[in-house]
Amino acid sequence: MSSLASFAPFSVVELLRYNPPDPTHSISTPNQPPRTPPRQHSSVLGLGLGSSSSNLTSALLSATGSTPARSVITSVELCDANLYVGTSDGYLLHYILDRAELSGGNVAEPSSDSGVERMHHIKTSPGAGKRPLDSLLAFPTESKMVVFSDSTVTFLELDTLRQVPPVMCMPVKQTVCFCADKIVQSPVPLTFARRRMLLAGYLGDMLEMEKELPITDGPVVMMVRHGDRICAADQHMYKLIFLGSGETIPLFPYDRSLQRPLAAAYSDGEFLLVTATPQGGGLGMFVSQNGEPVRGTLEWPAIPKSLAFQYPYVTALLANNTIEVHNLVNQQLMQKLAFPSGFTSHSMVEATFDLELGTYGPGDGGTIRILVAGGDAVLGIKMAPLRRQIDWLMESDSIEQAIELAEHVSLGQPQEYSNSKLQDLYRRAGLIYLERMLFDQALNMYKKAELDPAVLMEMFEPRELTTSPSTSGEDTTAPGTAKSVGAMIDARVANSETGLDGKALLVAARVMLQSYLLHVRATCSPTDPRLELIDTSLLELYAENPDPTSLYAFVLARNHVPIDTAVTLLQSAQRFYAQSLLMKAHERHEDALRLWQQLAVKDLNDPEFPGVKIVPKYLESVNDKELVLETLTWLLDIDAQLAVQSLMDQVNVFFRFSSGEVSDHLRRHSRAAYLLYLEHLVNERGDKTETYHTELAVSYIEHISRLDAVAAESIELEKQYSSLQSRPPFEVFLWRVQNEASDDTRTALLPVRAKLIRFLQDSESYDSIAVLAALDAVDVGLKFERALVLGRGDDHEAVLQIYLSLGDHIGAERYCLSQPGDVGTKLIARLLALFLAAGDSMALPVHDLLTRHHALTNLTSVLEDLPPHWSLSLVGDYLVSAMRVSRAEFTEKRIVKNLARGEHFKIQSKLSSIVHATQPIELKHSDTICIVCGKPIPDPPAPFAARFFPAPGITHVHCR
């Protein structure tokens, strides 16, 4: 491939070699019919002149009477094939260019009738003489030519080059400079700068002035316009003028001693301003239409004299008589142009209307927009066809620039045509990026190309290279014409000097394919027939990806892969858990659960399987009672606690199991699970059913009986307990042994006994007879548990005997105190009797019992029962405590009795006061009976004294 240095979008073409008119011939003007001279050839490229040079020179001589200065070109304008030339002696020359010869790029002798020349002498003012034409602007939409000469803007008819009548277009005098709007529109907006004001108007059939803006900071010497913004320069400063509001924004100064101001406007509303460096170079600064810096900076080795723009290039005519071409987008220098020997340029302009050159003969066409004027020649800067530039850029590896250029070209073409061309280019670029392992860039190109996903997927199939993608004229992305991605990676790794990882590249390539398929999938309609192929390929890619996240999300979501195809793919990739999720998504619950069972028991192997913990959650949404029970049955063998917990939670949205159903099922299939379920019912749900409580206790006992050497271990525990000098309660001893045991010494007995003891202490609903029968049946030495059950049956004597046989004196004492009322007092006395009956060995327990519970004993009876040989010091504490209690009780009784007597006297005194304060009453009727004696009170009129009582009725005064 060629390098970017060989990329040459522009070439120099000579349009006109100017020979001044012969003074001996007359001048042809629009106002005077020309004299027909003999037809002669000129050196104009491919053109003949309507009048010979000798006739022109002769006419000039006769008009002035002397030999004039040599005429030179001062201004040029191009409008399609029409070339307009302004001269230093005030003539405007019109040439019609030959496209065929310009397209070929060579100078050819014209035929006798190949062209026409028209000339017009512009007089700027009566008696002012001939003045050079400084600039020309042609407006074919308005059929007008604008000529600027000697501070006057004059308007001509474009077809005839006659001056437009002043009544229609009055010449604008005292003009410093003028400009037209860069935005092509009709009528044409024009702006004229005078020393102290700006004039803005429109040129259509007439010239109409719209606005005047005063200038307060010096005359404008240069300006360009885009819309209602004008980028202008005064004697020292660049500035931005808003025509609508009249506002002016200063931009930055320039040094007039080094340069003349220069700016250019571009179609997107930006301005390029030139400033000089002290070293004689030039800098180009881009500003937006609001005066803000944009893009980068252009640099030139010499100060530019003129600027021109032809997308995507900025062309600058430099003071060193060369042209430099920069890319507008990235500010990269693209080309340097040199002029033919002997040619000296003085200006460069953009054509109003481009000259499009077709393909004629050996040439390849192109476009001429930029003209360079010299004193005796006009050169055209021909830009190669953009399609050819795109090919050059692609061949020189400047793919981004080629794409950007192609996208710009497509804007001016029919959409169907431009889309087709662009997509071909995107596919080419994508393949190049893919061969270079630039997967992100390749993905972006394929997205823009809207590449058929089947084509890209075929590239991931191994096959031999049949046609070189860089040299073949065929579609390099069509099946059978491109390397497989595997072959590209192998070639890249083989040619690499840094040791590339082929596996990593293949993974990255698959990620690119996956991303593209997802992109296409997101843009497809739901009925697109390609979706099945896309989704099948995505599933295959996900199945080969070690990270399962995307695979699980895909199989759980709606997709277009036939389920049989998906199962085959997942099985071949051994992604069994993903297969189960696929079954779940399709509500094939039995298949999903069967896969989970096989994974749990290791019939199938998938390290991504999270375990059977996911089963209960899934069962919540299964509307099949038999399937749920079947699943829980095999789950019982793997994790009984998890299965039971599922039955405990009962959160299925379709049905619920009764406690009886669950317990019957568990009893048949797993005794351990049944035990767990009973614990849940009793301990967590607080079920008081006697059957469940009894079965739970019996289950604990049976569990203990099935343990190895349980009887011997129980006896050993009792011996350890008996050997303690200071014995805590037996149950506390058991907890302590269990907690202090290491992993090597801990046995299975203690945890189960702890559960049984806690249950027997807390539960009040079990059948004590059935539990005692279970204890008798196993006979493994569970004395303490038997005591707890016997205590439920109020067999206090047997309980106390068990505690004494264990040596658990504190436990026996606690049992006595736990009984209500006098029963506890009697049991304390009975426990004391049992201690005394055991002989002198129980002297210390007797001492402790009497000391702690002296208030519950009868001192006289205790003294009678104590052995006579026991020393006073042994029972001294008890006697002191008992005497204190007895004395306290006697004192308390006397105090209470005296307080009661005093209260009685107070009440009697108060009642007596009430009786004496009550006045007798007279009764006038004899039907009242005394409520004390029952005798009638005498009839009136004999008065009889009586009194009322709080109770209903009255009594005689003497009755008390």
pLDDT digits (tens, 9 = 90+) for 921-948: 666 565 677 777 878 776 544 444 555 5
Are 356 and 314 spatial neighbours (Cβ–Cβ below 8 Å)? no
* pLDDT given at position 599: 92
User: Shortest CA distance to 135 belongs to which of 120, 151, 119?
Assistant: 151
Look up residue 700 and give its amino acid: Y
Task: Spell out a b/e string for 410-437, using b for 16 or more CB atoms within 10 Å of the CB, else e.
Answer: beeeeeeebeebbbebbbbbbbbbbbeb
Rounded to whole angstroms, how far apart are CA atoms 536 and 390?
A: 37
* pLDDT given at position 652: 63
Rounded to whole angstroms, how far apart are CA atoms 259 and 271?
A: 18
Q: How many residues does the chain have?
A: 960
User: What's the DSSP call for residue 125?
Assistant: S
User: Which residue is it, tokens 């059913």?
Assistant: 689
Residue 609 three-state SS: coil
* pLDDT given at position 477: 43
* pLDDT given at position 337: 92
Rounded to whole angstroms, how far apart are CA atoms 532 and 535?
A: 5
Rounded to whole angstroms, how far apart are CA atoms 881 and 206?
A: 136
Beta bridge partner(s), residue 92: 86, 120
Beta bridge partner(s), residue 41: 48
Rounded to whole angstroms, how far apart are CA atoms 942 and 923?
A: 9
* pLDDT given at position 225: 93
Rounded to whole angstroms, how far apart are CA atoms 557 and 408?
A: 41
Percent with pLDDT over 90 in the chain: 26
* pLDDT given at position 112: 33
Report CA-CA distances (Å) from 346 to 150, 383, 450: 18, 21, 49
Are 653 and 642 spatial neighbours (Cβ–Cβ below 8 Å)? no
Report CA-CA distances (Å) from 609 to 580, 601, 613, 643: 10, 12, 10, 18
Please enumerate in sequence order all residues whose Cβ is within 8 A of that of 101, keeping only pairs 6 or more positions apart, or say none.
45, 46, 107, 108
**Would you state the torsion angle of the CA atoms of residues 951, 953, 957, 959, taken in this order, to the nearest 10 degrees?**
-70
* pLDDT given at position 935: 80
* pLDDT given at position 372: 95
* pLDDT given at position 876: 67
Are 90 and 135 spatial neighbours (Cβ–Cβ below 8 Å)? no
In the chain (960 residues long), the average pLDDT of successive 10-residue segments reads 62 86 47 36 30 34 49 91 89 84 49 38 43 91 92 91 91 93 89 93 93 89 93 93 91 91 87 92 92 90 93 90 89 89 91 78 73 92 84 79 76 60 86 88 90 87 38 40 76 80 86 91 89 91 89 91 92 92 92 92 91 87 85 84 77 69 78 79 82 85 81 82 81 82 74 85 86 82 84 83 82 81 78 75 73 68 72 70 76 89 88 76 66 71 50 67
Report how far Cα 103 is from the mean position of its chain's Cα atoms: 55
* pLDDT given at position 945: 52
**Would you state the torsion angle of the CA atoms of residues 902, 905, 906, 909, taken in this order, to the nearest 10 degrees?**
-160
Question: How buried is residue 329: exposed, middle or buried, by Cβ count under 10 Å (0-12/13-18/19+)?
Answer: middle
Are 368 and 355 spatial neighbours (Cβ–Cβ below 8 Å)? yes
